[in-house]
C-alpha cells in the first residue's frame, strides 16, 4: 500500500509535466472552458433578471448552486472523466490489457496517470462565482456549516468520480460505454437547476437512480435553509453519505467488470 | 469534382451513423431529459404569470424545441473532427483529392445532421407534443417563411462552426475554439433565453449579429412574433450575413491551404 502511495505523486507529476510542455494550449483551454460555462450562466442570469426567481431561488442563490455544481463536478471529474470516457477505446484497441499487467491497481493507474489539470478554468470560475454569491447572501457561517460545506463538496466530488467510474467500467463488459455519458450529462444539466421545479418522478430519479440532485442542489439548499423535496430533514445527512455510498457501489461494479473482462482488441 | 457528386458524401455520412445505434437511443434520452428540463425551467418562471412581454408558456415550450435541438445543433463533434484532421495531418489526404474540402464538410455534415434530426430531434418533438403540446406556426405564411429560415439557420450554424474549426490551422487546437463558441452561442443565439426577454440594449446588439439567425429569428417567425414584412426583411439580412460568412470562409480557406503544418506522421 505504501509503495502505491509513493508511486501516485510520480504518476501525477509525469502527467502534469506533459501538460506543462504546452502551457499556451493549457491556458487557452482554461480560459475557453471558463468562457463556455460563463455563457451558460449568463443566460441563466438573464432569465432571472427578467423573472426575478426560479422556483423561489434568486440569482445570488442560483449562482451559489451553479458554483457548487461546477466545483464538485470539476474535482470529481479531474480523476475520472477523460480517463473513463476513453475506456471503450482502450478496450477496443487492447491497450487496457497493458494496464492490467502493471504492478499497480488499474483504477489507481488510470485515475492518477491521467489526473486532468485542464479543469483549472472550471475551478477558477466556480470559486470566483462562489465568492461573489456568498458575499451577496447573508449566510450565517458557523463552524458546523463550514464543515458541512467542505464535507458535502467532497461527497459530491466522490459521487461524480464514482458515477464516471461505473460508466467507464461498463466498457469492460459491453465494449461500448461512451453513449452512457450522454445520459449522464442529460441529468447533469438538470442538476444545475432547483430540484423543486421538476415533476415529482424526475425529482425521485434525481435522488435515486440518477442521484445528481446531490451534486449541488441538496447541499446548497441545506446551506441556504431551503426545503428539500422528498428528503426533508434527512437531506443534510444524506448529502454526506451519498458520496461514500456510491464509491462503495462503484468499487463493487469495477471489480465485477474486471472479473468478467475478456478483452476485445488484439 | 462536379457538384452533383457531393451528395454521395451526404448519403454516406447518413448511412454510416446507422451503425451506431447505441448513440441514437442514448442521444435521444439525453435530449429528452434536457428538453423537459428547459420546459420545467420555463414553467417555473411563468408560475403566477399568464403572459410576459406578450409571450405565453405554450409559446416558450414550442420555443424550447425549435430554438434548441431543432436549430441549435451540437457542433462539438464536428469542430473536434475537423480540428483532429488538421492536428494529425489527415486533412492532407483530402487536399490530395480532386475535391473542395469545405464543400466536402458541408455535404458530410448535412448527412450527419439529417440523421440526428430524424433519429433524435423528431422523436423528442413527438414525445413533447404528446406530453405537453406544441403550437403550430402562427400562420401558413409564417410556416413557409420558417422553412426558409431553417435553411438559413442551418447554413449559418455550419459556417460559424466551420470558421471556428478552421482557426485550428493557426492555433492547432479545436478544443478551446469549441468551448469559446459554446459560450458565445449560449447567449448570442437566443437558444436558451430569447432576445425578447433580454435587456433592450443587449438584445439590440445581439439582434444584428449572425448568431441570432441560428435560433432566435427562426423561432420568433414560427411563433409569429415578427410580422411578415419584418420577417422578410430579417430573412434578407440573414442572407447577407450568409454571403458575408461564405466570403470570409473562402478567403480564409485560400490562405489556410498555404500555411498547413503537418504534425502527424
State the pLDDT at residue B72.
Answer: 86
Sort out which chain B residues have CB atoms less than 8 A from A55's CB and list them: 44
Smallest Cβ–Cβ distance between A47 and the set B37, B180, B193 belongs to: B193
User: CA A5 to CA B88: how far, in whole Å?
Assistant: 36
Angle at A183 between CA A55 and CA A152, to 5 degrees: 55
Whether the predicted pLDDT of B259 surpasses 80: no
User: CA B124 to CA B130: how far, in whole Å?
Assistant: 10
Residue B258 pLDDT level (bands cut at 50, 70, 90): confident
Nearest Cα neighbor of B124 from B39, B189, B22 is B39
Tens-digit pLDDT profile for residues A51-101: 989 999 999 999 999 999 999 999 999 999 998 998 988 998 889 999 999
Looking at the DSSP assignment, which residues form a beta bridge with residue B19? none
**pLDDT: which is higher, A159 or A202:** A159
Which of B174, B176, B211, B214 has the highest number of chain A CBs within 10 A, making it the mutation to test binding with A? B176
B37/A contact by beta carbon, under 8 A: yes
Which residues, at least 6 apart from B218, have a Cβ–Cβ distance to it below 8 Å?
B66, B67, B71, B146, B149, B150, B152, B153
User: CA A161 to CA A243: how far, in whole Å?
Assistant: 9
Sort out which chain B residues have CB atoms less than 8 A from A173's CB and list them: none
> In a 3-state reduction of DSSP, which class is residue B55?
strand
**pLDDT: which is higher, A216 or B85:** A216
B151/A contact by beta carbon, under 8 A: no
A193/B contact by beta carbon, under 8 A: yes
Residue A266 pLDDT level (bands cut at 50, 70, 90): low
Element (H, E) at B52: strand B51-52
Question: How far apart are the CA of B104 and the nearest CA of chain A, in angstroms?
Answer: 27
User: CA B40 to CA A196: how far, in whole Å?
Assistant: 10
ipTM of the complex: 0.90
Residue of A nearest to B37 (CA): A190
Cα-based distances in Å from B124 to A183, A205, B22, B64: 14, 20, 16, 12
Residue B191 pLDDT level (bands cut at 50, 70, 90): very high
Is residue A37 a contact partner of residue B187, using CB atoms and an 8 Å limit?
no
State the pLDDT at residue A36.
Answer: 96
Q: Hey, are the CB atoms on B34 and A49 less than 8 Å from each other?
A: no
Nearest Cα neighbor of B69 from B9, B12, B19, B27 is B27
Tens-digit pLDDT profile for residues B57-108: 999 999 999 998 889 888 998 999 998 888 888 888 888 888 888 999 999 9
B74/A contact by beta carbon, under 8 A: no
Residue A194 pLDDT level (bands cut at 50, 70, 90): very high
Smallest Cβ–Cβ distance between B41 and the set A31, A36, A54 belongs to: A54
B182/A contact by beta carbon, under 8 A: yes
Which residues, at least 6 apart from A117, have a Cβ–Cβ distance to it below 8 Å?
A15, A16, A19, A26, A78
Q: Hey, are the CB atoms on B179 and A32 less than 8 Å from each other?
A: yes
Looking at the DSSP assignment, which residues form a beta bridge with residue A54? A57
State the pLDDT at residue A265.
Answer: 62
> In a 3-state reduction of DSSP, which class is residue B51?
strand
Over range B41-45, report the average pLDDT. 95
A171/B contact by beta carbon, under 8 A: no
Task: Look up residue A89 and give its three cell numbers.
Answer: 477505446
Eight-class DSSP state of B190: -
User: CA A3 to CA A103: how far, in whole Å?
Assistant: 10
How many CB atoms lie under 10 A from the CB of residue B134? Answer: 16
Eight-class DSSP state of A196: G
**What does A72-100 look like in DSSP terms, one character per residue?**
HHHHHHHTTHHHHHTHHHHHHHTHHHHHH
B243/A contact by beta carbon, under 8 A: no
- Judge residue A189's burial from the number of C-beta atoms within 10 Å of its C-beta, 0-12 exposed, 13-18 middle, 19 or more buried: middle
Q: Give domain limits for chain A.
A: 2-259
Contacts 24+ apart (CB under 8 A), B112-119: B112/B13, B112/B14, B112/B17, B112/B78, B113/B73, B113/B154, B114/B10, B114/B14, B115/B13, B115/B14, B115/B17, B115/B18, B116/B17, B116/B27, B116/B73, B117/B70, B119/B17, B119/B24, B119/B27, B119/B28
B168/A contact by beta carbon, under 8 A: no
**Quick one: what percent of chain B has pLDDT higher than 70?**
97
Average pLDDT score over chain A: 92
Is residue B107 a contact partner of residue B194, using CB atoms and an 8 Å limit?
no
Looking at the DSSP assignment, which residues form a beta bridge with residue B51? B56
Task: Tell me whether strands B51-52 and B55-56 are parallel, antiparallel or unpaired.
Answer: antiparallel
Residue of A nearest to B195 (CA): A46
State the pLDDT at residue B265.
Answer: 47
Question: How far apart are the CA of B219 and the nearest CA of chain A, in angstroms?
Answer: 17
Q: Hey, are the CB atoms on A183 and B180 less than 8 Å from each other?
A: no
Question: How far apart are the CA of A125 and the nearest CA of chain B, in angstroms?
Answer: 13
User: CA B57 to CA B5: how far, in whole Å?
Assistant: 46
> In a 3-state reduction of DSSP, which class is residue A54?
strand
Residue B263 pLDDT level (bands cut at 50, 70, 90): low
Amino acid at each position: 500500500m505504501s509503495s502505491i502511495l509513493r508511486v501516485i505523486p510520480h504518476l501525477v507529476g509525469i502527467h502534469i509535466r506533459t501538460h506543462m510542455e504546452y502551457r499556451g494550449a493549457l491556458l487557452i483551454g482554461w480560459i475557453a472552458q471558463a468562457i463556455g460555462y460563463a455563457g451558460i450562466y449568463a443566460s441563466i442570469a438573464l432569465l432571472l433578471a427578467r423573472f426575478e426567481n426560479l422556483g423561489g431561488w434568486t440569482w445570488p442563490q442560483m449562482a451559489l448552486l451553479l458554483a457548487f455544481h461546477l466545483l464538485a463536478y470539476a474535482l470529481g471529474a479531474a480523476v475520472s472523466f477523460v480517463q473513463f470516457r476513453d475506456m471503450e477505446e482502450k478496450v477496443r484497441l487492447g491497450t487496457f490489457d497493458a494496464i492490467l499487467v502493471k504492478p499497480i491497481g488499474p483504477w489507481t493507474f488510470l485515475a492518477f496517470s491521467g489526473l486532468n489539470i485542464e479543469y483549472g478554468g472550471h475551478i477558477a470560475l466556480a470559486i470566483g462565482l462562489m465568492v461573489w454569491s456568498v458575499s451577496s447572501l447573508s449566510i450565517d457561517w458557523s463552524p458546523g456549516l463550514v464543515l458541512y460545506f467542505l464535507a458535502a463538496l467532497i461527497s459530491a466530488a466522490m459521487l461524480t468520480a464514482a458515477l464516471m467510474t461505473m460508466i467507464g467500467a461498463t466498457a469492460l463488459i459491453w465494449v461500448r460505454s461512451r453513449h452512457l455519458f450522454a445520459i449522464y450529462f442529460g441529468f447533469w444539466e438538470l442538476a444545475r437547476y432547483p430540484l423543486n421545479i421538476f415533476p415529482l418522478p424526475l425529482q425521485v430519479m434525481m435522488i435515486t437512480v440518477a442521484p445528481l440532485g446531490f451534486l449541488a442542489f441538496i447541499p446548497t439548499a441545506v446551506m441556504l435553509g431551503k426545503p428539500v423535496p422528498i428528503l426533508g430533514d434527512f437531506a443534510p445527512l444524506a448529502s454526506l453519505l451519498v458520496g461514500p455510498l456510491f464509491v462503495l457501489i462503484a468499487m463493487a461494479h469495477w471489480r465485477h467488470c474486471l472479473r468478467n473482462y475478456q478483452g476485445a482488441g488484439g | 469534382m462536379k457538384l452533383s457528386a457531393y451528395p454521395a458524401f451526404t448519403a454516406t455520412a447518413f448511412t454510416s451513423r446507422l451503425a451506431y445505434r447505441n448513440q441514437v437511443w442514448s442521444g435521444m434520452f439525453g435530449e429528452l431529459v434536457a428538453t423537459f428540463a428547459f420546459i420545467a425551467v420555463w414553467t417555473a418562471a411563468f408560475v403566477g404569470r399568464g403572459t410576459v412581454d406578450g409571450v405565453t408558456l405554450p409559446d416558450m415550450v414550442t420555443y424550447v424545441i425549435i430554438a434548441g435541438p431543432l436549430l441549435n445543433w451540437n457542433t462539438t463533434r464536428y469542430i473536434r473532427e475537423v480540428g483532429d484532421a488538421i492536428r494529425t495531418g489527415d486533412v492532407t489526404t483530402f487536399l490530395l483529392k480532386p475535391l473542395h474540402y469545405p464543400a466536402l464538410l458541408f455535404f458530410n455534415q448535412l448527412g450527419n445532421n439529417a440523421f440526428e434530426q430524424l433519429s433524435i430531434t423528431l422523436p423528442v418533438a413527438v414525445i413533447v407534443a404528446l406530453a405537453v403540446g406544441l403550437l403550430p406556426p402562427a400562420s401558413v405564411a409564417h410556416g413557409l417563411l420558417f422553412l426558409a429560415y431553417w435553411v438559413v439557420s442551418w447554413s449559418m450554424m455550419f459556417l460559424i462552426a466551420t470558421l471556428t474549426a478552421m482557426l485550428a490551422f493557426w492555433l492547432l487546437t479545436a478544443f478551446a475554439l469549441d468551448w469559446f463558441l459554446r459560450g458565445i452561442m449560449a447567449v448570442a443565439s437566443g437558444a436558451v433565453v430569447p432576445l425578447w426577454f433580454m435587456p433592450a440594449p443587449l438584445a439590440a446588439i445581439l439582434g444584428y449579429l449572425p448568431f441570432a439567425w441560428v435560433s432566435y429569428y427562426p423561432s420568433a417567425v414560427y411563433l409569429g412574433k415578427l410580422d411578415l414584412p419584418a420577417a422578410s426583411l430579417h430573412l434578407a439580412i440573414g442572407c447577407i450575413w450568409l454571403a458575408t460568412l461564405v466570403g470570409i470562409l473562402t478567403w480564409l480557406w485560400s490562405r489556410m491551404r498555404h500555411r498547413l503544418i503537418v504534425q502527424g506522421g
